[in-house]
Structure 1
Amino acid sequence: MLKAAIVILLLATVASLFSGLFFLVKDEGQGTRLVNALTLRVILTGLTVALLVWGFYSGQLVSHAPW
């Protein structure tokens, strides 16, 4: 469940990234939609990082790195 939430948040972050690019090209930097897309992207990234930290802290996510 936690992994699915992380993947969904990452996909939403990428969608927000491309919508911001679209608004940058279409509005030529004059509208507020670009700022809204950036704000949403920062919020989604913060939520993703918070879920990752909580997952490692609670033991639901583990690292299998050899180092």
Structure 2
Amino acid sequence: MLLKAIIVILFIAVLISLSSALVFLMKDVGNPRKRTLYALGLRVILATALVGTIAWGIYSGQLTSKAPWDRQLHPERLAPQQPATQP
């Protein structure tokens, strides 16, 4: 559950950084746009951390897929069937 919270926080931080870069781009019309570049650089770092966190979650098994088409790709994840008893 902690991993999912970290992923949500990182995603929100990426959105905030992207929106702040847009605000800086609109406000700093005649300036060298240094704040915009810093905000976009921060977004790249946060996005890399987000992708790394998701990859680690999948690798460690904390994040799994419950999609119906995933059962066909990974039949070992299905619950084992009870063998039929013969009379």
- Larger RCO: 1 or 2 (CA < 8 Å, sep 6+): 1
Q: Larger C-alpha radius of gyration, 1 or 2?
A: 2
Structure 2 regions of 5+ residues with no counterpart? 70-87
The match for 1:58 is 60
Runs of 4+ more than 2 Å apart: none
TM (norm. structure 1) is 0.95
Q: 1:19 and 1:51 mapped to 2: Cα distance?
A: 23
The match for 1:11 is 12
The SS at the match of 1:66 is: coil
Deviations 1:4-58 (A, max 9, x none): 0000000000000100000000002622000000000000000000000000000
The SS at the match of 1:65 is: coil
Question: How well do the aligned residues superpose, as a CA RMSD in angstroms?
Answer: 1.0
The match for 1:41 is 43
CA drift of 1:64 comes to 1.2
Structure 1 regions of 5+ residues with no counterpart? none
Q: 1:54 and 1:31 mapped to 2: Cα distance?
A: 35
Structure with bigger helix share is 1
Among the aligned pairs, what percent are the same residue?
54
Q: 1:56 and 1:7 mapped to 2: Cα distance?
A: 15
